[in-house]
């Protein structure tokens, strides 16, 4: 009567969403201020004022039927031109509007890209820990997900293991830096190392291996960390970008796919992207937000609060005896579970109303993800709970 596969996906919502729902129920019982919900990557910093100012300006100045009407399937020309110009100026690249397909966020960018690339028996490499939806998106596109664990000490990609995992079926690898859930950022050296492996394997198998760079956290980096623009290091790179996190508008659903001219078969891939967008019902990303981001390129929400949260959390958990890789970006802390079973640790944390996400669904057991896109006050209030939890272990 219905698709079993879709039923299963719907019935077992993501672990993250389950915890988020639990938090809402629990808050109704003990009060919102007594729940320390670190589950969801929902930015708590408001969108910068320029977003609302732009919306008001667009409403006042643009014909309603243009602002709220359909754009071309690929997105509005002026928007795509502006994005190309902005990236060219920022990264010294030479993109054209024809390289861009506007989407409803990174999730749509990824599903469309994977559908556009997938052929029978194709595989996609996922570097664990990874955003759990990658598995759903890859399998949905008919690709087998081959998981390669990151280096346990640094949480950076293990290039030797990636080299071993690539085979004649490998169509693509998804790279996500700054990373959800670890917060790890790939520096230039790591990018070069990974690209060298991909180049070598492309030669060996005589076919392209596409690097899908999932970049919703590109701007969220702290201290001296920088995020290299991967298209400059590896020509078969397709970028899946989103404005969700940098502009704090995840609910408005806006992003893009970039297929540079240098990509092997670029025009054919772009046409397949258009086809996948059509098949998946994604043609025409939200029009008003296409125009909004055109006016807000290079702007971000005030990200300094995330950096303060990171510093406070890292110093707190380290003081208490927990260990984690200091995140250079995104807004997640990946903390080692003091017991082997991270799920059991999360259950114990729940006793103190601390809500973390166990790392099993990120493909990397033994850790918890702590999303620190929350108020600094909540982190302050949660410290006694962290202290009580630590006493159970150290
Ligand atoms: N990729 C990663 C790594 C994410 O963390 C997220 C959302 O949290 C997405 C993609 C989806 O982003 P969007 O809201 O733009 O669809």
Q: Please provide the DSSP assignment of 351-363 as one string.
A: TTTEE-EEGGGGT
DSSP-derived letter for residue 155 is: -
Please report which confidence band the pLDDT of residue 326 belongs to, taking 50, 70 and 90 as the band edges. confident
Residue 365, sorted as left (phi over 0), alpha (psi -120 to 50) or beta, turns out to be: beta
Residues whose CB falls within 8 Å of the CB of residue 181, separated by 6 or more in sequence, listed in order: 129, 131, 332, 334, 357, 359, 362, 367, 369
Main-chain dihedrals φ then ψ at residue 188, nearest 5 degrees: -60, -40
Beta strands in the chain (DSSP E): 36-37, 100-103, 123-128, 144-149, 170-175, 210-215, 237-242, 255-258, 332-336, 354-355, 357-358, 367-371
Position 147 pLDDT exceeds 90:
yes
Q: What is the reported pLDDT for 325?
A: 81
The predicted structure's pLDDT at residue 15: 85
161 CA from centroid of ligand 1 (Å) = 25
- CB-ligand 1 contact for 105 (6 Å cutoff): yes
Ligand 1 within 6 A of CB of 129: no
For residue 13, is pLDDT > 80? no
Q: Measure Cα distances from 351 to 21, 323, 325, 332, 346 in Å.
A: 17, 21, 25, 22, 9
Q: What does the block give as tokens for 150? A: 């990151």
Instruction: Single out the residue of 292, 284, 243 nearest to residue 61, CA to CA.
Output: 292
Measured CA to CA, the distance from residue 319 to residue 9 in angstroms comes to 40
To test the pocket of ligand 1, the residue of 177, 219, 220, 242 to mutate (highest count of ligand atoms within 8 Å of its CB) is 242
Average pLDDT over residues 150-173: 97
pLDDT score at 316: 97
pLDDT for position 207? 98
Over residues 54-72, the mean pLDDT reads 97
- Tell whether the model's pLDDT for residue 21 goes beyond 90: no
Average pLDDT over residues 19-45: 91
Q: Is 132 in the pocket of ligand 1 (CB under 6 A)?
A: no
pTM for the model: 0.97
User: What is the C-alpha to C-alpha distance for residues 85 and 181, in angstroms, rounded to an integer?
Assistant: 31
* Tens digit of each residue's pLDDT (9 = 90 or more) over 370-388: 999 999 999 999 999 999 9
Residue 282: pLDDT band (50, 70, 90) is very high
Mean pLDDT of 3-13: 90
Find out whether the beta carbon of 255 lies less than 6 Å from any atom of ligand 1: yes
Q: How far apart are CA 89 and CA 72, in angstroms?
A: 25
Q: What is the dihedral of CA 149, 152, 153, 154, to 10 degrees?
A: 20
Kindly state if the Cβ of 179 falls inside 6 Å of ligand 1: no
Q: Is the CB of 244 under 6 A from ligand 1?
A: yes
* Separation in Å, CA 315 to CA 154, 160, 181: 18, 33, 19
Average pLDDT on 223-232 reads 96
Q: How confident is the model at residue 211 (pLDDT cuts 50, 70, 90)?
A: very high
Q: What is the mean pLDDT of residues 110-127?
A: 98
Q: Is 213 in the pocket of ligand 1 (CB under 6 A)?
A: no
Report the nearest atom of ligand 1 relative to the CA of 104: 16
- What's the confidence (pLDDT) of residue 103? 98
User: What is the distance in A from the centroid of ligand 1 to the CA of 106?
Assistant: 5
Q: What is the overall mean pLDDT for the chain?
A: 96
| pLDDT of 201 | 98
Mutate to test the pocket of ligand 1, among 17, 47, 102, 106 (most ligand atoms within 8 A of CB): 106
pLDDT of residue 18: 86
Please compute the mean of the pLDDT values over residues 99-122 and round it to a whole number.
98
Cβ atoms within 10 Å, residue 251: 8
Q: What is the pLDDT of residue 210?
A: 98
Report, as an integer, the average pLDDT of 69-76: 97
């Amino acid at each position: 009567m219905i698709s079993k596969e879709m039923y299963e996906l719907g019935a077992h919502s993501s672990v993250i969403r389950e915890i988020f729902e639990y938090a809402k129920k629990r808050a109704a019982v003990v009060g919102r201020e007594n729940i320390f919900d670190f589950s969801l990557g929902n930015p708590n910093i408001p969108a910068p004022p320029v977003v609302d100012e732009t919306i008001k300006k667009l409403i006042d100045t643009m014909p309603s039927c243009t602002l709220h009407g359909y754009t071309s399937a690929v997105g509005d020309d002026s928007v795509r031109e502006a994005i190309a110009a902005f990236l060219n100026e920022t990264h010294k690249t030479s993109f054209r509007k024809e390289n861009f397909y506007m989407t409803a966020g990174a999730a749509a960018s990824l599903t469309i890209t994977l559908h556009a690339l997938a052929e029978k028996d194709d595989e996609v490499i996922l570097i664990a820990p990874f955003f759990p939806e990658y598995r759903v998106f890859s399998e949905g596109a008919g690709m087998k997900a081959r998981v390669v664990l990151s280096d346990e000490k640094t949480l950076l990609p293990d290039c030797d293991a990636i080299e071993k995992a690539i085979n004649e079926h490998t169509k693509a690898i998804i790279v996500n830096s700054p990373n959800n859930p670890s917060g790890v950022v790939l520096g230039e050296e790591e990018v070069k190392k990974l690209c060298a492996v991909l180049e070598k394997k492309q030669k060996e198998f005589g076919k392209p291996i596409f690097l899908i760079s999932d970049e919703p956290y590109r701007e969220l980096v702290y201290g001296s960390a920088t995020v290299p623009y991967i298209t400059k290091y590896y020509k078969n790179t397709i970028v899946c970008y989103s404005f969700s996190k940098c502009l704090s508008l995840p609910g408005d659903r806006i992003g893009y796919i970039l297929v540079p001219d240098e990509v092997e078969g670029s025009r054919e891939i772009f046409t397949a992207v258009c086809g996948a967008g059509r098949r998946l019902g994604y043609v025409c990303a939200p029009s008003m937000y296409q125009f909004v981001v055109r006016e807000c390129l290079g702007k971000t929400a005030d990200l300094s609060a995330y950096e303060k949260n990171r510093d406070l959390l890292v110093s707190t958990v380290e003081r208490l005896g927990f260990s984690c890789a200091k995140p250079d970006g995104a807004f997640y802390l990946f903390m080692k579970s003091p017991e082997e079973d991270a799920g059991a640790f999360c259950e114990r944390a729940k006793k103190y109303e601390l809500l973390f996400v166990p790392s099993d669904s990120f493909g990397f057991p033994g850790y918890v993800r702590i999303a620190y896109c929350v108020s600094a006050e909540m982190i302050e209030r949660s410290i006694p709970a962290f202290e009580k939890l630590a006493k159970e272990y150290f």
